[in-house]
Amino acid sequence: MSMSKRAIELIKTIIIVMLTISGMFLAWRTGLFNDVLIAFPMLRDVAGMMRPTGGVTDYGGFTPEEAARPLSIVITNEEGERFGIRYDTDMRNTVFERASGIVGEALGSAAMPVEITKEQWRDALSRANVYFEYILPVRLSILDGWFGLRKPETVDDIVIRRIFVSFDENRNRLYYQDYYTGKYFSADTASTATKAQELETLSSNGAVFAFETNVVGSDNAPYMILMPGSHHPDVRRTLVHSQEEMFEVALSAFGHSHEVYPPFLSGDTLVCVGSQFSIWVHPDGRVIYRWTSDLPNEDDARVLSDGEMIEHARIIVANSISLTSGDAYVQFEAFIYDEGMYMIFFGYYVAGGRVHLHDDRHAARVSFSSGVIVESELNFRNFTLTGEEVRLLPEKQVLAASGGEFMLSYSDTGSEVLHPSWVRVGSW
């Protein structure tokens, strides 16, 4: 055989090998071998490693503690003066970085909680303390997991919105209120008095709890913190990505590669059909992800705790719509179980106000069944402060007019500029 023929045969062999490797890689990415491997018990673990991630992604630089950021933070000094922060996101984040260790350490080192009276709760609020108020109820064990500490088995089923650490000369205690029963609880904790001194530089800004006022309606929201001031910013809303860019970001967040799964245009919608999932990217920024393959049977299904599902969903959100949200941030809002499906919801928040999207959509919804993300909706938006402000009613007057708890709101109806307004909590 001549040298030229040998070279040609060698090239053919190399091409065949490369095509074989490429084919095996694509088969792995699509899960083609999974059913065969699962048929053999000793190879099931291999099948699990070959299964596409389906939304279980790396943290991408985000930490669980970021999910623990509350809507409002109140620092009370030894004289009973309060510094409250809700609408200045940068300031809230700075204070959270200084105060999160106090609440996290107290929660992680809490002894067996005991029920206390309303009077004991309010007396503790009058002393030096760090107070966190969350947007919507969250299970205490999940909050503890966000802080990266132990899960207190004694309070697993407690759902809260408000939690604080009170500092005394001889002891420090953790306090929280059961959202559903209204009962108050307290627990001894490890000492954090030295850390409390880091917050003494924050002077009073006139923040008060509703029960400390004589305003009509305060009995319906006694522990809502009322902030000073009445000016709130306008917000500009834009779509910052093309459909192709949103597709690549979303696909990566779900653990897939756009190079393996190229999209095509169907009408005005960008579509990707994989072997086990499909994605639709609409021109209004809405991205739908749907699992189209069979779900694993009970023996092969991954068993995920509530906290693990929330964390997987939060990581997807952090690596997709949070990257393009501008001055807004995306916050976990709700965890709902319905007819065999677990649904996790997230919302957009900007300048301390919730953004209400068109058609009552959430910023994101991630749904699990049998340990698999079966459907998700991501709504890409970018919100920036315009520099202009609107004067609204002061919060004490809003409390009197609404007769209960309220919050700042922005309605995204398609306009370029969103104006702030007050909305009664429970009406959305």
Q: Does residue 267 come out as left (phi exceeding 0), alpha (psi in the -120 to 50 range) or beta?
A: left
> What is d(CA 240, CA 252) in angstroms, rounded to the nearest whole number?
18
- Rounded to a whole number, what is the distance in angstroms from the first to the last CA of the chain? 80
Residues 402, 288: one domain? yes
Q: What is the pLDDT of residue 73?
A: 95
pLDDT, tens only, 173-198: 999 999 999 999 999 987 666 666 66
Residues 34, 126: one domain? no
What is the average pLDDT across 349-372? 92
Residues 154, 125: one domain? yes
pTM, full prediction = 0.81
Among 187, 213, 239, the domain boundary falls at 213
Structural domain span for residue 30: 3-50
Of the candidates 390, 340, 332, the one whose C-alpha atom is nearest the C-alpha of residue 70 is 332
> Is 219 a domain residue?
no
> Is 123 a domain residue?
yes
> Is 365 a domain residue?
yes
Checking if the pLDDT of 316 tops 70, the result is: yes
Q: Is residue 361 classed exposed, middle or buried when 0-12, 13-18 and 19+ CB atoms within 10 A define those classes?
A: middle
Q: What is the pLDDT of residue 428?
A: 45
> Is 103 a domain residue?
yes
Q: Domain total for the chain?
A: 3
> Is 55 a domain residue?
no
Among 145, 180, 213, the domain boundary falls at 213
What is the average pLDDT across 100-122? 91
What is the average pLDDT across 12-24? 52
Q: What is the pLDDT of residue 413?
A: 85
Look at 118 and 110; give whichever has higher pLDDT. 118
What is the average pLDDT across 324-353? 92
What is the dihedral angle through the alpha carbons of 416, 419, 420, 424, rounded to the nearest 10 degrees?
-90
Residue 18 token pair: 């490369």
Residues 116, 13: one domain? no
Distances (CA, A) of 316 to 244, 254, 255: 18, 6, 9
Residues 280, 424: one domain? yes
Q: What counts of helices (H) and strands (E) characterise the chain? A: 10, 23
Residues 262, 411: one domain? yes
Q: Does residue 158 come out as left (phi exceeding 0), alpha (psi in the -120 to 50 range) or beta?
A: beta
Q: What is the pLDDT of residue 16?
A: 56
Q: pLDDT class for 299, splitting at 50, 70, 90?
A: low
Look at 149 and 52; give whichever has higher pLDDT. 149
Residues 209, 94: one domain? yes
Q: pLDDT class for 406, splitting at 50, 70, 90?
A: very high
Residues 24, 98: one domain? no
Q: What is the pLDDT of residue 305?
A: 83
Residues 193, 297: one domain? no
> Is 60 a domain residue?
no
Residues 160, 260: one domain? no
Q: Where are the alpha helices (DSSP H) in 217-302?
A: 243-253
Chain-centroid distance, C-alpha 135: 11
Q: pLDDT class for 64, splitting at 50, 70, 90?
A: low
pLDDT, tens only, 248-274: 999 999 988 767 788 999 999 999 998
Q: pLDDT class for 38, splitting at 50, 70, 90?
A: very low
Residues 329, 407: one domain? yes
Is the distance from CB of 307 to CB of 282 less than 8 angstroms? no
> Is 161 a domain residue?
yes
Residue 283 token pair: 């021109």
Q: What is the pLDDT of residue 141?
A: 80
Residues 70, 186: one domain? yes
What is the average pLDDT across 7-20? 54
